[in-house]
Chains A and B, each alone.
Chain A
Amino acid sequence: MTTATIATDHKIAVHTELVDESIVKWYFYAALLFLTTSMLAGILVSLQLIQHNPFTGIEIFSPGRWRMVHTNAVAYGFLANGFLGCLHWAIPRLTLHPVLDKRLSWFIYAAWQFVVGATAVGILFGEAQGLEWGETPVWIDPLAQVGLLLVAINFMTPIARMKGPMYVSLWYFLAAFIWTFLTYAMGNFIPEYFVSGTSAGAVGGLFIHDLVGLFVTPLGWGLMYYFVPILIKKPIWSHGLSLVGFWGLAFFYPLQGIHHFLYTPIPMFLQYGAVVSTIAVELVVTTVIINFFGSIWGNWSIVRTNLPVRYFYTGMVFYFLTCLQCSFQVTLTFQKIIHFSDWVVGHAHMVMFGVFSMWIMGMMTYLFPRLLKREWASQNLIEWHYWLSTVGLAVMAADLILLGLFQGWSWAALEPWDASTDFSFPFWVLRTIAGLAMFGGLLALLTNIWKTVKLAPAKA
C-alpha cells in the first residue's frame, strides 16, 4: 500500500487518504461487465448480417434492439465506468485533494450502474427513445442528468480547492464535466419536449458528435496527459501547446455535429460551418499528436517494453487516423459516396474501440496490479489481449471502410440494392471473425484478472 506523503498547503497529502482504491477497482469490474455485454451484442448483430442469428424470431433478441444495447453499453457502461474509475485515481493525485465525499462516490457508482442496467432492460423491452446514442428510456433521462450533476460536483470540488495554475489534464476534466452535463440535457430533452422535425434532427446531430468530442475526448486526452508522462518518466513536451489543443477543442468542436446531416434540409450555412469546424479540429488534433510524439521522441523502445504505453500510443495512432478520415469524410464530395454505408461503422469502431477503449485498457493494465497489490498472473495473456484487440480492430476497420466505398460506388451507379448486399457478404464474414478475435482478447484479460486475484501472490 502506498504510504508516501507530500507536504502541500501546510498539510500532508497521503495517497491512501486521497484515493479510494476500492472504488477504482469496482468501476473497472463494472466497465468490463458492460464491455462483455456490448461485445456479445455486437457479435449477435454481426451474425444476423451473415444470416446466422441463432435467435431469429425471438423479439427480445431482435438485432435492432441488441444493436442499441451494443452502442449504449459501450458508451455509458464501459467508457463511462472506465473513465470514472480512472478519474477517482487521477484527480485526487493531481489536485492533492480527495473528492468531495467518498460516500457520494459510492452512491454515484450504484446509481450509474442502475441507470446503465435499466437502459439495457428498457431497450430490450421496446422502450427506446428515438435518438441515436440517446436511446435511454425517457423516464431514466432525469436520473442520469442528476447523476451527471453529482459527478461534476464530486470531482470539481478538489479542482476548485487547488491553488495556482492548473495542469492541462484538469482543464480537460473541468470542461468535460460541464460539457457532458449540458450535452446530455441538450440531446435528451430539447428534441423530446421542445423542438421537432428538422430542428430536432439538427440538435440530435450536435448531441451524437458532442458525446464523442465533449464527453469521451476531453476525459481521454486529460487522462493521457496524466498517465503518459508518469509512465515515460518525462514531462509532456510542451504544456503551452497542450493548452492550445484544449482551447482549440473548446471553440471548434461544439458546432461540428451537424456534419452528420449533410444534404438535409438544415440550412447550408450550418452545414458549411460544421465542415469548416471539423477540418479546423483536425489542425488542433495535430498539435496534440505532435506534443505526445515529441514527448516520447528518442525513447521509442518503451513502446515495446511497456504495455500500457504501447496501448496509449496505439490509440493515438488510431485517433490521428480517425480524425484525418473525419476531415475528408465530412466534405460534401465524400458524403455522396459513403453516407449510409459501412464506412461509417468502420469509422465508429476505430474511434470507440481503437482509441478510447484502447486507452482504458492501457490504464487498466497499469492500474490493476497496483489496485490488487500483485503483479499480473500472466504476461502472455496481457500480450494476447493487446494483439488480439489491435489486430482484430485494424482488420475490422479496414474491412468496413473498404466495404463502405464499394457500397457507395455501387449505389451511385444505381445498381440494385441486392447487388450491394451480395458483395458485402464476405466483408461481413470477415468483420465477424475480427470481432471474435477482439472478444477473444477480452476473454484473455478477464482470465488474467481472475488468475491474478485468485492465484498470484500478493506483493510484500
Chain B
Amino acid sequence: MNRSMAWTVTIVFGVLILIPSMLGFMMKFGELVELTKGVSDGGGFAITPVVNYLLASLGFFCLLLWAALNGMFRDLEQPKYLMLENERELDANV
C-alpha cells in the first residue's frame, strides 16, 4: 500500500469510527450534565473523574498531533539504532 493510500484509509476509518463515537459520547455526557443540574445527589459527582480523564487525554491527543506534524513518526525505527550508536561511542574509550 503506497503512502497516500495508507493516509486515505486511515482518514476514512477515523471519520467512520471516531466521529460517531465522539458524537454519541458527547450526547450522553450532555444528558448526564442536564440530569444532575440542581439535584444534589443525582450522580453529578461522576462528572469529576470523566472531566479529569478528558483533560488528560486531550493533552496527550495534542501531543500526538504535534509529534506527527513534526515528523517524529517519519522514520520509526531510526531512533533505536541511533541510541545504541551513541551509547557505544560514549563508552568507547572507558
Residues of A within 8 A of B (CB): 2-6, 8, 13, 15, 18, 93-94, 96, 164-169, 175, 178-179, 182, 186, 190, 195, 197-199, 202-203, 205-206, 226, 229-230, 233, 235-236, 238-240, 243, 247, 250-251, 254-255, 257-258, 266-267, 269-270
Describe B's contact surface by its main secondary structure: helix
Q: Is B80 an interface residue (CB 8 A)?
A: yes
List B contacts of A5 (CB < 8 A).
Answer: 89, 93
Question: Which of the residues B49, B60, B71 comes within 8 Å of A206, measured between beta carbons?
Answer: B49
**Min distance, Cβ A15 to any Cβ of chain B, angstroms:** 5
- Cβ contact within 8 Å between B45 and A238: no
Q: How far is A250 from B46 in the complex, measured between Cα atoms in Å?
A: 21
Write the chain A residue with the least CB distance to B81. Answer: A235
Residues of B within 8 A of A (CB): 43, 45-46, 48-50, 52-53, 56-57, 59-60, 64, 71-84, 86-87, 89-94
- Cβ contact within 8 Å between B45 and A198: yes
Write the chain B residue with the least CB distance to A247. Answer: B64
**Min distance, Cβ A134 to any Cβ of chain B, angstroms:** 15
- Cβ contact within 8 Å between A267 and B76: no
List A contacts of B91 (CB < 8 A).
Answer: 2, 4, 15
**Min distance, Cβ A227 to any Cβ of chain B, angstroms:** 10
Of the A-B pairs whose beta carbons lie under 8 Å apart in the complex, a sample of 9, sorted by A's number, is A2-B91, A4-B89, A4-B92, A6-B89, A96-B86, A167-B79, A168-B79, A239-B77, A240-B77
Write the chain B residue with the least CB distance to A93. Answer: B90
List B contacts of A8 (CB < 8 A).
Answer: 86
- Cβ contact within 8 Å between A235 and B80: yes
- Cβ contact within 8 Å between A254 and B74: no
- Cβ contact within 8 Å between B48 and A203: yes
List A contacts of B93 (CB < 8 A).
Answer: 2-5
A93/B64 contact (C-beta < 8 A), A229-B80, A235-B80, A254-B57 known:
no
A165/B84 contact (C-beta < 8 A), A2-B94, A4-B90, A270-B46 known:
no
Question: Which of the residues B59, B71, B90, B92 comes within 8 Å of A165, measured between beta carbons?
Answer: B71
- Cβ contact within 8 Å between A203 and B72: no
List B contacts of A96 (CB < 8 A).
Answer: 86
A13/B90 contact (C-beta < 8 A), A175-B60, A267-B46 known:
yes
Which of B78, B83, B91 is packed against the most chain A CB atoms within 10 Å? B83
**Given A230-B87, A239-B80; 19 other pairs, CB 8 A cutoff:** A13-B90, A15-B90, A94-B86, A165-B71, A165-B73, A165-B79, A168-B79, A199-B46, A202-B49, A203-B49, A229-B84, A235-B80, A235-B84, A236-B80, A239-B76, A250-B57, A250-B64, A269-B46, A270-B46
Q: How far is A8 from B59 in the complex, measured between Cα atoms in Å?
A: 31
- Cβ contact within 8 Å between A93 and B87: yes
- Cβ contact within 8 Å between B45 and A199: yes
List B contacts of A266 (CB < 8 A).
Answer: 46
List A contacts of B73 (CB < 8 A).
Answer: 165, 243
List B contacts of A199 (CB < 8 A).
Answer: 45-46, 48
**Min distance, Cβ A244 to any Cβ of chain B, angstroms:** 10
Question: Which of the residues A165, A169, A243, A255 comes within 8 Å of B53, measured between beta carbons?
Answer: A255
Write the chain B residue with the least CB distance to A233. Answer: B84
Write the chain A residue with the least CB distance to B46. Answer: A267
Which of A165, A179, A240 is packed against the most chain B CB atoms within 10 Å? A165
- Cβ contact within 8 Å between B52 and A203: yes
List A contacts of B48 (CB < 8 A).
Answer: 190, 195, 199, 202-203
Question: Which of the residues A13, A167, A197, A255 comes within 8 Å of B83, measured between beta carbons?
Answer: A167
Q: How far is A2 from B93 in the complex, measured between Cα atoms in Å?
A: 7
Question: Which of the residues A18, A165, A202, A269 comes within 8 Å of B75, measured between beta carbons?
Answer: A165
- Cβ contact within 8 Å between B87 and A167: no
- Cβ contact within 8 Å between A167 and B90: no
- Cβ contact within 8 Å between A94 and B83: yes
Query: 8 closest pairs, A vs B, by CB?
Result: A199-B45, A235-B80, A240-B76, A6-B89, A167-B79, A239-B80, A250-B60, A267-B46
Q: How far is A94 from B84 in the complex, measured between Cα atoms in Å?
A: 9
- Cβ contact within 8 Å between A165 and B74: yes
List A contacts of B45 (CB < 8 A).
Answer: 195, 197-199, 202
List A contacts of B71 (CB < 8 A).
Answer: 165
A267/B83 contact (C-beta < 8 A), A178-B59, A243-B73 known:
no
Q: How far is A8 from B87 in the complex, measured between Cα atoms in Å?
A: 13
List A contacts of B87 (CB < 8 A).
Answer: 93, 230
**Min distance, Cβ B64 to any Cβ of chain A, angstroms:** 7
